[in-house]
Amino acid sequence: MNKTLLLILCDFLLLNLLALSRWDRTEPPTAPAVAARSASAQDDVVAALRLSLEEEKANREKLARDLATTRDESRSRAAVLDQARTRTTELSERLQKTEQEAARLAQQSQVETERSRAALEAAKAETESLRQAKEKLRTEADALRSQLTVAEVQAKSAEEKMKLTTATLRQAEEEKKKLIEQNQSLSQGVTQLAEKSGQMTQEIREYRPVAPNALYAGYLDRRATVRLMAERPSAQGQRVRRTESRAILLTDGTRTAALVPLSQTPFDLGDAEGSWDSLTGTLTLPPPSNFPQPLPNLESLSGSDPRLLLAPVPLALVEKHPELAYRIASDPFRFPKALLISPSGKGYGECSFKLDPSFPGYLEMDSRFLNRLQGEYAPEAGDIVLSLNGEFLGVMINDHFCALVPSLTPGPGLPLDSKGASRSAGETLATLKKRASALDSPLR
């Protein structure tokens, strides 16, 4: 309902009430005419009120239609408009029931209208907010769509780059394989060249003579010490023999042993078939290994003179210093001369030698008396014979012949046992004596 019209109706009703009301004491009706006029006036007022109510009803219906239209425009305002329409309907019913509550209903209608307006404004604001949110979402969607497009382009570019990288990697792998094959081929070539170079260097060293002074100095630094003790019964009681000899270390590439001539041990070929109460021995390597090691046994040489013995050396003792051992000469006849060194280290000198087919495994040394008169070194039994390239040849068994040592193949052994008698040593000495007896007289 229009606020102005409502105020006018209220004023009109109030004036009519004031005009028709009597404030003095009520008097009894005097005439029917007055009553008829009063009834006519009341009917006019009621008709006016009905007309106002009809107009109010028409206005309410129009307002309801407006509210319905507004509700169609925005779903968010529907609830608020329904509430306003409900309030308006309730107000209409109250106006129909009682006229006394018209003013209050008008005020309530005004309040509800204000609330509806506020709700409408809020709905408009919410609609605007939703519109802005929708615009924002649309903007974000456009931005995301643009980003998606850019991402697709980047993905395609990355895929192309990946394909290119894959092709490059494959090409690089192929080139790498080729380079590896070339490197392997070069490595094999370098290895072969190094082996050939090492072989050539070794051959050069083998064919190049070393200064006798250097060989002699090396011999003094590479000597080991072998100590042996033998106890055997005799008519006078226990007889103890102790020997200490300077031995040379030999290697054939597979094993290492110290060479000890039989003459430098407590044994003799005349002790064949004998027995001993105790046989012990120790081996002391050259510095820096100065700690004596017990010897479990001595061995004979199967391919050399029976008067030469071997003291086995464990591999662990020489693996840190393999340069201490002399290699057995691979070509004993490479040089026409050899270097002879006294086992005690008191003298050394070069000496010519020759081969005698009658004595295989031996070298005949030049020991003419004239050489001794000229001050040259005279060979003696027990001398160490080295090739001029530093390899080991053999040992002088007398003044004229050198027994070659072609290998370290062991023969019958002489066990060293400190706990009791052993006849194995006597049996081995008997075998060696038999072999020595079979030698020609110049070799004895």
Instruction: Answer with the residue of higher pLDDT: 395 or 206.
Output: 395
Give the mean pLDDT of 394-412. Answer: 93
Question: What pLDDT is attached to residue 22?
Answer: 60
Which residue is listed with tokens 């969607």? 141
Per residue in 176-219, pLDDT (tens digit) is 888 888 877 777 777 777 677 666 666 556 667 899 999 999 99
Question: What pLDDT is attached to residue 158?
Answer: 83
Question: What pLDDT is attached to residue 342?
Answer: 92
Query: Helices marked H in 286-442 — which ranges?
Result: 315-318, 369-373, 424-437
Residue 291 vs residues 280, 283, 287, 311: alpha-carbon distances, Å: 16, 8, 9, 16
Q: Read off the pLDDT band of 284 (50, 70, 90).
A: very high
Tell me the whole-structure pTM to 2 decimals.
0.55
Q: Read off the pLDDT band of 247 (50, 70, 90).
A: very high
Question: What pLDDT is attached to residue 73?
Answer: 77
Closest by Cα among 162, 60, 77, 149 to 115: 77
Query: Helices marked H in 211-292 — which ranges?
Result: 212-221
Per residue in 75-131, pLDDT (tens digit) is 666 666 677 778 777 777 776 787 777 677 778 778 888 888 888 888 888 888 888
Give the mean pLDDT of 244-273. Answer: 90
Helices (H) and strands (E) in the chain, counts: 8, 15
Evaluate if residue 139 carries a pLDDT over 60.
Answer: yes
DSSP label at residue 210: P
Closest by Cα among 246, 264, 255, 250 to 397: 264
Evaluate if residue 297 carries a pLDDT over 80.
Answer: yes
Evaluate if residue 309 carries a pLDDT over 90.
Answer: yes
Distance CA 117, CA 186 (A): 96
SS3 category, 366: coil
Residue 178 vs residues 164, 182, 185, 309: alpha-carbon distances, Å: 21, 6, 10, 58
**C-alpha 350, offset from chain centre:** 60
SS3 category, 74: coil
Distance CA 350, CA 376 (A): 8
Q: Read off the pLDDT band of 396 (50, 70, 90).
A: very high
364's tokens: 């005949």
Distance CA 387, CA 327 (A): 10
Question: What pLDDT is attached to residue 274?
Answer: 76
Distance CA 368, CA 289 (A): 41
Per residue in 43-79, pLDDT (tens digit) is 777 787 788 778 878 888 887 787 777 777 766 666 6
Question: What pLDDT is attached to residue 56?
Answer: 79
98's tokens: 């009682």
Residue 155 vs residues 85, 148, 162, 168: alpha-carbon distances, Å: 58, 10, 10, 19
Contacts of 257 (CB under 8 A, 6+ apart): 249, 250, 251, 299, 310, 311, 312, 313, 408
Mean pLDDT across the chain: 82
Closest by Cα among 382, 243, 369, 370 to 307: 382
Evaluate if residue 13 carries a pLDDT over 90.
Answer: no
Q: What is the DSSP code string of 12-68? A: HHHHHHHHH---S-------HHHHHHHHHHHHHHHHHHHHHHHHHHHHHHHHHHHHH
Upstream peptide bond of 288 is cis (omega within 30 degrees of 0) = yes
Sort 242 into a burial class: Cβ within 10 Å, 0-12 / 13-18 / 19+: exposed
% of the chain surpassing 90 pLDDT: 27
Sort 397 into a burial class: Cβ within 10 Å, 0-12 / 13-18 / 19+: buried
